[in-house]
């Protein structure tokens, strides 16, 4: 059994805490030059690489045989034309851990895309677009064993701590242990709270959260579903897996992610959902795809057998699934 004082949990929490500090430093210095346009056109920043380098290094240092399936690799970063970016990544990482550019590139490449019975999955910055806009983003790390997410860790450096004070203190750490619960702490690890989902039973009292990006989800379909359920509260649009945290702490009743109309065949990445899903489930929530199937983390880096994602407080899960079918 893994408990919250175990070395695995402590290592993961320390890794995401340091990575989130690095991300915030980069964000504060962001001038726009740090983003590279990858072939899929998603912006990748110095912070993505720095975050992945730190987390992979700290996990491998303690658990040399562990496997990490993370979003980035250093191929682009090692190109001579990217030397300025690599220099910046090195400077930021050296603010926390010493290493040469070559070492830091090799830490990033501790990651592979081979799925085994037991592996970590990491999104060094989930919601890069939110990060670049100054909105929400998350550092998301999970441990998966035999297809089941056992542990989930998520740092949301720009998320307000207290749902009743959206303009108050920012920076949350979420973590969940299968069978033990889901928790939120402040960015420094203080003020730990056990999380539980909302108790709303009547659909018309519900509220929901969804992506900001219309390329990532079908806002129109969500709006039609809200009308069917007589939901009057406006949706809370937010980037990254922070949305799972919002459902876990009862701030929204559910999180909808119907595939975007422009990309109905898109399949979700495991690192975009593993950490968030256990955080919602351990807070009493339910997570499936839009057809009601459990999320399947065993098919490789893509969730090939799933179609979108639905996260609810459990009570309203079937109601939401049914409304999606209508």
Q: What residues make contact with ligand AMP under the rule CB under 6 A?
A: 126-127, 130, 211, 213, 215-216, 239-240, 260, 263, 266, 269, 272
Name which of Mg ion, ligand AMP, none residue 239 binds, using a CB cut-off of 5 to 8 Å depending on partner kind: ligand AMP
Nearest to 26 by CA among 105, 73, 88: 88
> Smallest distance, Å, CB 84 to Mg ion?
25
Contacting residues toward Mg ion, per CB under 5 A: 123, 126, 272
Angle at alpha carbon of residue 253, lines to 250 and 259, rounded to 5° = 125
Residue 204 gets which letter from DSSP?
A: G
Nearest to 75 by CA among 105, 55, 50, 40: 105
Active-site residue among 45, 48, 123, 272? 48
Q: What angle do CA 126, 130, 131 make, to 5 degrees?
A: 75
Chain centre to alpha carbon of residue 52 = 13
Exactly one of 45, 128, 209, 217 is catalytic; name it: 128
Minimum distance of ligand AMP from residue 210's CB (angstroms)? 8
Of the two residues 276 and 314, which places its CB atom closer to ligand AMP in the complex? 276
CB count, 10 Å around CB of 179?
A: 9
- Pick from ligand AMP, Mg ion, none: which does 266 bind, CB < 5 to 8 A by kind? ligand AMP
The gap from C-alpha 122 to its chain's centroid, in whole angstroms, comes to 8
The yes-or-no answer on residue 48 being catalytic is: yes
- Spatial CA neighbour of 217 closest among 153, 127, 136, 313: 127
The CA distance from 170 to 165, in Å, is 10
Taking the complex as a whole, the smallest distance from the CB of residue 63 to ligand AMP amounts, in Å, to: 25
CA dihedral defined by 149, 146, 125, 99, rounded to 10 degrees?
120
Q: In whole angstroms, how close is the CB of 71 to Mg ion at the nearest point? A: 6
Closest to Mg ion by CB, 72 vs 272, is 272
| Binding at 213: pick from ligand AMP, Mg ion, none (beta carbon under 5-8 Å per type) | ligand AMP
Nearer CB in complex with Mg ion: 219/243:
243
Closer Cβ to ligand AMP, 50 or 130, answer by number: 130
Least separation, in Å, of the C-beta of 175 and Mg ion? 18
**Considering beta carbons, is residue 72 or 281 the nearer one to Mg ion?**
72
Residues 6+ away with beta carbon under 8 Å from 255: 208, 209, 210, 243, 244, 246, 247, 280, 309, 310, 311, 312
Are the C-beta atoms of residues 122 and 71 closer than 8 Å to each other?
yes
Q: Which residue is nearest to ligand AMP (CB)?
A: 211
For the bound state, the minimum distance from the C-beta of residue 43 to ligand AMP, rounded and expressed in Å, comes to 11
Specify the pairing of strand 36-37 against strand 43-44.
antiparallel
Q: Take residue 326 and report the two structure tokens written for it.
A: 């209508």
Chain length of the chain: 326
| Residue number, 115 or 236, with CB nearest to ligand AMP | 236
Q: Which residues are catalytic?
A: 48, 128
């Amino acid at each position: 059994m893994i408990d919250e004082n175990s070395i695995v949990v402590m290592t993961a929490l320390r890794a995401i805490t340091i990575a989130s500090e690095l991300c915030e430093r980069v964000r504060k210095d962001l001038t726009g030059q740090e983003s590279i346009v990858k072939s899929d056109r998603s912006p990748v920043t110095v912070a993505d690489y720095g975050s992945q380098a730190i987390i992979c290094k700290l996990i491998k240092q303690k658990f040399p045989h562990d496997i990490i399936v993370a979003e980035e690799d250093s191929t682009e970063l090692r190109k001579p034309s990217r030397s300025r970016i690599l220099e910046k990544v090195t400077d930021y990482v050296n603010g926390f851990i010493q290493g040469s550019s070559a070492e830091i590139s090799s830490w990033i490449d501790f990651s592979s895309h081979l799925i085994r019975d037991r592996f970590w999955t990491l999104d060094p910055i989930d919601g890069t677009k939110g990060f670049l806009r100054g909105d929400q983003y998350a550092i998301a790390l999970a441990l998966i064993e035999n297809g089941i997410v056992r542990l989930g860790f998520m740092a949301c450096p720009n998320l307000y701590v207290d749902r009743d004070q959206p303009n108050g203190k920012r920076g949350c750490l979420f973590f969940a242990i299968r069978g033990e619960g889901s928790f939120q702490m402040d960015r420094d690890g203080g003020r730990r709270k056990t999380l539980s989902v909302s108790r709303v039973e009547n659909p018309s009292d519900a509220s929901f959260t969804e992506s900001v990006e219309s390329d990532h989800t079908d806002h129109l379909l969500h709006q039609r579903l809200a009308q069917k359920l007589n939901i009057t509260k406006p949706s809370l649009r937010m980037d990254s897996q922070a949305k799972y945290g919002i459902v876990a702490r009862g701030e929204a009743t559910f999180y909808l992610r119907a595939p975007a109309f422009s990309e109905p065949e898109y399949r979700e990445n495991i690192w975009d959902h593993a950490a968030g899903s256990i955080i919602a489930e351990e807070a009493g929530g339910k997570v499936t795809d839009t057809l009601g199937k459990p999320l399947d983390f065993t098919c490789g880096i893509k969730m090939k057998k799933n179609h979108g994602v639905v996260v609810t407080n459990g009570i309203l899960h079937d109601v939401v699934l049914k409304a999606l079918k209508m």
